A and B are shown apart, each in its own frame.
Chain A
Amino acid sequence: MAESVLKLKINGFVRRVAVSDQETLLEVLRYTLGLTGSKQGCDKGDCGACTVLVDGEPVLACLSLAKRNADKEILTIEGLSGPEGPHAVQDAFDNAGAMQCGFCQPGMILSAAALLERDPEPDDEAIRHALSGNLCRCTGYTRIFTAVRQAAGIEADRKGVDPRPAPAPPVDPKLP
């Protein structure tokens, strides 16, 4: 059936892609553009693993027709981090040990980032509510809540957590 060349603004760049009308945003992101950070878990909007931000709001890419996103700003997990490093939420998820298998995390992190964008200091109820469209099977959510609170600056780092992996060892000029 109908196909068209579409301009999609993804992670700040305009991408021209050929899409069929029935293709979902998730299919285009994952299989046409190779942006595989957005995951496919349930086929039909039951799990939230495919969450991307469209004009700043979390939506289900698996239930979003690609063609209807032509004039929108799409942000995927790949675009959340920048040259300066991971986004504060990504960093907090890593720091708090919020990820186990990691499969739900791109979606979860984008939902959390959108929450903090509109509510920089959410209470626990707001965090639970905002993430309730993203299923996680590994963690029991406990550490995800911690990560969001850490990213918001509500909860301090756990004492003794190493801030981040050490840089490569300095080259000793005396060595051959």
Chain B
Amino acid sequence: MSDKKKRDQGGADIVKGKASPIHGVDLPGGDVIGRPLRKADGLDKATGLALYTDDIQFPDMLHAKILRSPLPHARIKSIDYSEALAMDGVVDVMVGSELPIPYCVIPWTRDETALCTDKVRFIGDGVAAVAAVDEATAIEACKRIKVDYEALKPILTIEAAKQPPEDEAIHVGNRRGNQHKYVDLSFGDLDAGFRHSTSIAHDDYYFHGTTHAPIEPHCAIGKPEPGGQLCIISATQVPHYLQRELARVLGMAQQNIRVIQPALGGAFGGKSEPFDLEFVVAHLARKTGRPVKCLYTREEVFYSHRGRHPMAMNFKVGLDDEGKIQAVRSKIDLDGGAYSSFGLVTTYYAGQLLTGPYDFASYGFTSTRYYTNKPCCGPKRGHGSVQPRFAFECALDEAAAGLGLDPMTVRERNTMPRVATTVNGMRVQSNGFLACLQAARKASGWDEKWGKLPRGRGIGVAGSMYISGTNYPVYPNEMPQSGVTVQLDRSGRALVLCGASDIGQGSDSMFTYIVAEELGIEPGHVRIVSSDTDLTPVDLGAYSSRITFMAGNACIDACRRLRKLLLEAAATALGQSAKRLRLAGGYAVAVDDTAVSLPMQEVFRLAEAENGTLSASGWYNTPLLGGEYRGGTIGSSPAYSFTCHVAEVDIDLETGELRVPKVWVAHDCGRALNPVIVEGQMEGSTYMGAAELMMEDQDFYPADHAAPGLHLGPSLLDYPIPTSSEVPEFEALIIESLDPEGPYGAKEAGEGPLHSTIPAIANAIHDAVGIRLKTLPITAAKIWRALQETH
């Protein structure tokens, strides 16, 4: 690692690392891998047996509730909780000063405390917490806490955040007022690029705020354990990062904190950093000596947010005569909300992840994140790049129209080579984007439809690229990003231990398939213990679409070590060369004579007799990657996935009502370890994208309102998500490009397939009615207004 890269990572102590073993496609797989198997936890969930955090109860457990700020921006002058504490059933009360150490998932932007210490920064900011014998008592006690506030002028828009603060900055002491992060990067010769462009699209776009809205509200339990240890059971996607931040804030040794993530009811990025309730239950459990649970209301889920940043984007795209992209330039302002969250990374991602799937030689972006007095934005499925992707793909269509080019054709012409380095230095080793375009073109009947459908009906296309994990963890270290231990038992069962979080995406299942494939046993003979920091090797968590790639490789690594021992034992017993043996379907079988075989259970026993107890750890770390410039590591990934969406729309010309009858999604996931799960991710991503465009809107009352900064409607009624009755039909088209470093060639499938949904629909609207809507969401009212104006 160069010194420069070390600097970029903050220059903290770096443990000497070594290059990770890469197994990649030298393992073809096929007995289990690639087959549409059931999920490891499917029946558990279908029968109601799976335990989610709020399903867990402990004897003598207390219930906590957090009192939240009714003001968007105010100093806390005093808190009087004597009346609450005196209530029958109230066991303890805590306030922010008890846990003043700031935290953040990104170690260099720690600007949040467990509860507010000196001021509140949005309506819903946590101020105090009560532990009581039951939740109803805790709720009532919160109402009896008196907080004396001194109101400050709220800053609610990007424009307001750019001005010098009237009262005071949201984070007093921040060097740049309410500006949180500024990034300005440029690659190649932009001026020349635009000079060579004959068609330039240059426009402003706006992507609104949206939130994750997992059906399971956040919940956490803190439980004191013997020896001064503390166990936190939480609906989190990042047990390891949570454990680190809990230890820091609570002032405890990390090893004395155990984080367990039970079954998780959806996350999408909304549970990928520490939240106030986790600190609250930990602290109150420590104070009271009793287990303490805290469950968010749906309203609190909306306030905890960390969803998509609203972005105001100026995009300029230039094409030459032949439709080749010559230059792309963007200026993006991010509305970050009250705290940092992953915002430092978001600010980079808004530019860094746009340099594919198209090949261009000059690119520049300026990206600035601002603090505002609203719930904090963060990473939502497709972190940072979904918003600019919308603008870019719309602008690309506009520029292509200037040349009279078919949007599909212009994308095909600009596809980057299969192996490439992007203009900002990202290494691409597998790329099935052209195949995605072709598959979607064919399946959707593009050639018969584009420009040919009757007015009101239209079809649109868009493409995108996304990371399979980030090359660098959020805190600098050179230890593995993922570790997996596999233990074999003489009963014939394999046990996988890994810190990875199954949040519904199916990582536990992925381990099952890999172990079954590698060791030749039935998937039903594999057990998984995941995301328990006491029991499992570290995996950094379910974010950035990293688990299949990283934990998958680590699991193969562990299995390979055991596989060698198993093959040797079987070879000895069967009198065959290990090279001529296959482990599959529960047997070790001689390739040359299938009658010669041994059940795997017996192979396990023989291997255990020969080698002692069978267990192996495998691990994965990323190769050193990224551009040689400040921020060049952010956005670098060991592999990139590619997506193309084609959407059809049907617009009611009188009402503006938008229907999306069908969306085709072609996604290059490298290799589909299980096509059913991959298709499920593609459909779910596309659904979420379509919903963001059509109906979702996390918005707040403006400064001139009676309640500035108040959420417009923090409920699933006022923040509608599509029901089964109006959801579009989706057709998933899997493209397999076989990445040389991915497990069996696999890349991500959980986030990439969201990105281009939104511009594909926006482009289809343009095809349908000739209107370019540049501000999201695209509601019926907005289409109707635009139609009125064109008349």
Contact = CB atoms under 8 A, between A and B. Distances in A.
A and B touch in the complex (CB under 8 A): yes
Interface of A: 30-31, 34-44, 46-47, 49, 76-78, 80-81, 86, 90-91, 93-97, 99-106, 109, 127-129, 131-145, 158, 160-162, 164-169, 172, 175
B525 A169 contact: yes
B730 A140 contact: yes
22 contacts: A37-B48, A39-B52, A41-B716, A47-B215, A86-B46, A97-B39, A100-B266, A102-B45, A103-B215, A134-B724, A138-B684, A140-B683, A140-B727, A140-B730, A144-B724, A160-B36, A161-B676, A162-B37, A166-B523, A167-B524, A168-B524, A169-B525
Interface in B483-513: 491-492, 503-506
A34 B48 CA distance: 11
B215 A104 contact: yes
Contacts of A104: 215, 265
Given A131-B724, A140-B683, A169-B525, A100 B215 contact: no
Contacts of B715: 42-44, 46
Contacts of A30: 54-55
Contacts of B42: 93-94, 97, 99, 102
A78, A100, A136, A167: most-surrounded residue (chain B CB, <10 A): A100
A75 to B, nearest CB: 11
A118 to B, nearest CB: 17
Nearest to B268: A137
Given A141-B724, A142-B683, A166-B586, A101 B214 contact: yes
Interface stretch (B409-417, B454-462, B561-569, B598-606): B598-606
Given A137-B214, A141-B687, 8 more contacts: A30-B55, A41-B216, A101-B263, A101-B267, A137-B721, A139-B684, A140-B687, A166-B524
B717 interface: yes
A77 B47 contact: yes
B38 A162 contact: yes
B723 interface: yes
A174 to B, nearest CB: 9
A43 B504 contact: no
B37 A41 contact: no
Contacts, number: 219
Contacts of A36: 48, 51-52, 54-55
A116 B719 CA distance: 30
Contact of A43 (B52, B57, B297): B297
**Closest 6 pairs between A and B when the two form their complex, measured CB to CB:** A37-B48, A103-B265, A101-B504, A102-B45, A140-B687, A165-B524
Given A49-B215, A138-B266, A105 B45 contact: yes
Contacts of B7: none
B474 interface: no
Nearest to B663: A140
A100 B504 contact: yes
A97 B523 contact: no
Contacts of A31: 57
Nearest to B47: A81
Contacts of A165: 38, 522-524
B49 interface: yes
Contact of B723 (A42, A76, A80, A132): A132
Contacts of A102: 41-42, 44-46, 50, 263, 265, 504
A99 B688 CA distance: 16
B445 interface: no
A125 to B, nearest CB: 9
B597 to A, nearest CB: 13
B105 interface: no
Nearest to B216: A103
A12 to B, nearest CB: 15
A9 to B, nearest CB: 18
A161 B37 contact: yes
A140 B688 CA distance: 8
Nearest to A158: B36
Interface in B712-737: 715-717, 721, 723-725, 727, 729-730
A95 to B, nearest CB: 6
Contacts of B36: 97, 158, 160-161
A138 B263 CA distance: 14
Contacts of A46: 298, 715-717
A167 to B, nearest CB: 7
Contact of B214 (A94, A103, A105, A144): A103
Contacts of A172: 599, 601-602
A31, A91, A109, A136: most-surrounded residue (chain B CB, <10 A): A136
B627 to A, nearest CB: 35
A164 B522 CA distance: 11
B716 A135 contact: yes
A80 B38 CA distance: 20
Nearest to A22: B136
B355 interface: no
Interface string B17-52: 000000000000000000111110111111111111
Contact of B599 (A35, A93, A96, A169): A169
B643 to A, nearest CB: 15
A171 to B, nearest CB: 8
B126 interface: no
Contacts of B681: 100
Contacts of B46: 86, 90-91, 93-94, 99, 102, 105-106, 109
Contacts of A139: 680, 683-684, 687
Nearest to A36: B55
A140 B265 contact: no
B57 A34 contact: yes
A106 B48 contact: yes
Contact of A161 (B38, B298, B492, B602): B38
A115 to B, nearest CB: 11
B213 interface: yes
A104 B268 CA distance: 15
Contact of B730 (A132, A134, A142): A142
